Amino acid sequence: MRFQAVLALFLFITTVSAVAAPTLQEKLTEQWKRYDQARALLLEQVQKTDIPAAQRAISREAWEKILQLPEDYAFTPQDLSDLKNIQARRIQIAKDKAKLDSIINLDRIRAKKTAKQFCEKIPKGAMLHIHPGGTLDRALAAKLLADVNAKIEAAELLKHIDSTGGNSMLLPEERAWLSQIPADANYLTLSPADQKTFSNYLFLPPGKQPFPRFNSVFSFLGYAFPEWEQYEQVLLDFAQRAVRQGVLYAELTTSTSDDLFKAIAVVEQQTGLVIRVNNAFNRTRDLDTLENGLQTLLSYPGNLHLVGIDFLDNEGTNPALEKGQILYGTLLHKHMKGETKLRRTMHSGEIGDVRNPRDAMIMGAERLGHGVNLAKDPVALEYAAKIHEPIEINLSSNLRLSDVDKISEHPFLNYLRLGLPVSLSTDDEGIFDIDINHECQIAIEQTDVTYSELKKMAFNSIRTSFASESDKQSLIRALSKRFHQFERSHGY
DSSP per-residue string spanning 140-193: HHHHHHHHH--B--HHHHHHHHHTTTTSS---HHHHHHHHTS-TT-BGGGS-HH
Mean pLDDT (whole number) for 297-315: 94
Per-residue pLDDT band at 490 (split at 50, 70, 90): confident
pLDDT digits (tens, 9 = 90+) for 66-122: 999 999 999 999 999 999 999 999 999 999 999 999 999 999 999 999 999 999 999
pLDDT digits (tens, 9 = 90+) for 376-389: 999 999 999 999 99
Mean pLDDT (whole number) for 348-360: 98
CA 317/CA 111 separation, integer angstroms: 44
pLDDT digits (tens, 9 = 90+) for 194-208: 999 999 999 999 999
Q: Which of 350, 382, 389, 429 is catalytic?
A: 350
Task: Report yes or no: 55 and 291 within 8 Å, Cβ to Cβ.
Answer: no
CATH code of 99-134+227-489, in short, is: 3.20.20.140
Per-residue pLDDT band at 348 (split at 50, 70, 90): very high
Q: Residues of the chain with pLDDT > 70: what percent? A: 96
Per-residue pLDDT band at 7 (split at 50, 70, 90): very low
Mean pLDDT of the chain: 95
Mean pLDDT (whole number) for 247-272: 97
Assess whether pLDDT exceeds 80 at residue 151.
yes
What is the domain partition of the chain in residue ranges?
Answer: 99-134+227-489, 140-221
Q: What is the pLDDT of residue 12?
A: 47
CA 443/CA 441 separation, integer angstroms: 5
Q: What is the pLDDT of residue 302?
A: 83
Give residues with Cβ within 8 angstroms of 457, minimum separation 6. Answer: 125, 416, 422, 423, 424
Q: What is the pLDDT of residue 301?
A: 83
β-strand 367-370 against 343-348: which pairing, if any? parallel
Mean pLDDT (whole number) for 219-243: 97
Nearest to 35 by CA among 278, 377, 347: 377
Mean pLDDT (whole number) for 143-161: 95
Per-residue pLDDT band at 20 (split at 50, 70, 90): confident
Q: What is the pLDDT of residue 19?
A: 56
Q: Residues of the chain with pLDDT > 90: what percent? A: 94
Mean pLDDT (whole number) for 55-65: 98
pTM score, whole prediction: 0.94
pLDDT digits (tens, 9 = 90+) for 398-429: 999 999 999 999 999 999 999 999 999 999 99
Q: What is the pLDDT of residue 231?
A: 97
Bridge partners, 276 (sequence order)? 251
Assess whether pLDDT exceeds 90 at residue 456.
yes
CA 288/CA 110 separation, integer angstroms: 52
Q: Is 350 a catalytic residue?
A: yes
Dihedral sign from CA coordinates of 457, 459, 462, 468: negative
In degrees and rounded to multiples of 5, residue 446 shows phi and psi of -115, 5
Q: What is the pLDDT of residue 17?
A: 47
Mean pLDDT (whole number) for 336-342: 97
Give residues with Cβ within 8 angstroms of 232, minimum separation 6. Answer: 263, 266, 267
